[in-house]
C-alpha cells in the first residue's frame, strides 16, 4: 500500500487495517471505512519474466519508435478518447512509444515508464477502429522486449478483459490486484 504523505498513510492504515486483506481491493468495502472521492480499479497486476515472454512472430506488422511527445501519439490518444488514453498514460512513458500504422495513421502504441528503478509499467493503447486485430499484442510485445533488454521487470495493469487477454497472450501472469483511490 502506498500513500502520498505520512498523515494519509496513518488514516489509510487505520481504516483498512480493520478489513480482511481481500477487501482492500473491493471499492465498496473501502468506501465503507474511508471518505473516498475517486476510485480507479480494481485492476489485475501481471508480470512476465524473460523465460515466460511470448513475443509476436516474424510475420507481424512493422513497428516504429516515436517519442511520447510525438504528434501522432497525441492523435492516437484523441482517437481513443480520454478514458482509454488516461488509462494507458502514454504521455508519461520514459521509453520510446512503439507504434503500428494503418494508412499512415498510428492505430496502436505501447511504451513503459520505469518504477522503483526495476519495473517497467506498460501502457498500451489501440484506436477503437483497430481493436480486436492483434495491434495491441504487436506493440505490447515490442515494449516488453525493450524493457526486458534493459533488465527491467515488465508490469501490466489491466481492468478490461481484452487488455488482460493481450497480457496473457504475451506470457504475463496475474499475481496481484490494485485499487487506487483519493480520499477527502
Q: Is residue 170 part of a domain?
A: yes
pLDDT at 41: 75
Q: Is residue 49 part of a domain?
A: yes
Q: Is residue 89 part of a domain?
A: yes
How many Å apart are CA 139 and CA 131, to the nearest integer? Answer: 12
CATH code of residue 116: 3.40.630.30
53 and 5 in a common domain: no
Count the domains in the chain.
Answer: 2
47 and 105 in a common domain: yes
Q: Is residue 94 part of a domain?
A: yes
69 and 19 in a common domain: no
How many Å apart are CA 33 and CA 21, to the nearest integer? Answer: 14
54 and 1 in a common domain: no
Q: Is residue 183 part of a domain?
A: no
Q: Is residue 184 part of a domain?
A: no
166 and 91 in a common domain: yes
pLDDT at 128: 95
Q: Is residue 151 part of a domain?
A: yes
12 and 88 in a common domain: no
pTM of the entire predicted model: 0.84
What are the pLDDT tens digits along the chain (184 aa)?
Answer: 777 788 888 988 898 888 888 888 888 888 889 888 887 777 899 999 999 999 987 667 899 999 999 999 999 999 999 999 998 999 999 999 999 999 999 999 999 999 989 999 999 999 999 999 999 999 999 999 999 999 999 999 988 889 999 999 999 999 988 878 888 8
Asked if residues 78 and 90 have their Cβ atoms less than 8 Å apart, the reply is no
103 and 69 in a common domain: yes
Q: Is residue 96 part of a domain?
A: yes
pLDDT at 58: 62
Place of cell 488516461: 86
61 and 21 in a common domain: no
117 and 96 in a common domain: yes
83 and 160 in a common domain: yes
22 and 4 in a common domain: yes
pLDDT at 78: 96
133 and 68 in a common domain: yes
Residue 11, domain extent = 1-34
What is the grid cell recorded at 134? 492483434
CA angle 149, 155, 161 (to 5 degrees): 130
Backbone φ, ψ for residue 107 (5° rounding)? -115, -10
Amino acid at each position: 500500500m502506498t500513500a502520498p504523505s505520512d498523515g494519509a498513510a496513518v488514516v489509510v492504515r487505520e481504516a483498512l487495517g480493520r478489513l480482511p486483506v481481500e477487501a482492500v481491493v473491493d471499492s465498496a468495502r473501502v468506501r465503507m471505512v474511508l471518505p473516498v472521492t475517486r476510485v480507479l480499479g480494481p485492476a489485475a497486476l501481471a508480470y512476465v519474466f524473460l523465460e515466460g515472454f511470448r513475443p509476436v512472430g516474424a510475420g507481424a506488422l512493422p513497428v516504429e519508435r516515436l517519442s511520447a511527445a510525438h504528434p501522432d501519439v497525441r492523435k492516437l490518444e484523441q482517437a481513443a478518447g480520454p478514458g482509454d488514453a488516461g488509462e494507458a498514460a502514454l504521455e508519461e512513458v520514459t521509453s520510446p512509444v512503439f507504434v503500428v500504422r494503418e494508412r499512415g495513421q498510428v492505430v496502436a502504441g505501447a511504451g513503459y515508464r520505469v518504477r522503483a528503478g526495476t519495473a517497467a509499467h506498460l501502457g498500451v493503447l489501440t484506436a477503437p477502429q483497430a481493436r480486436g486485430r492483434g495491434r495491441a499484442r504487436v506493440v505490447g510485445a515490442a515494449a516488453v522486449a525493450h524493457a526486458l533488454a534493459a533488465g527491467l521487470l515488465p508490469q501490466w495493469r489491466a481492468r478490461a478483459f481484452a487488455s488482460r487477454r493481450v497480457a496473457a497472450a504475451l506470457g504475463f501472469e496475474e499475481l496481484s490486484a490494485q485499487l487506487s483511490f483519493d480520499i477527502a
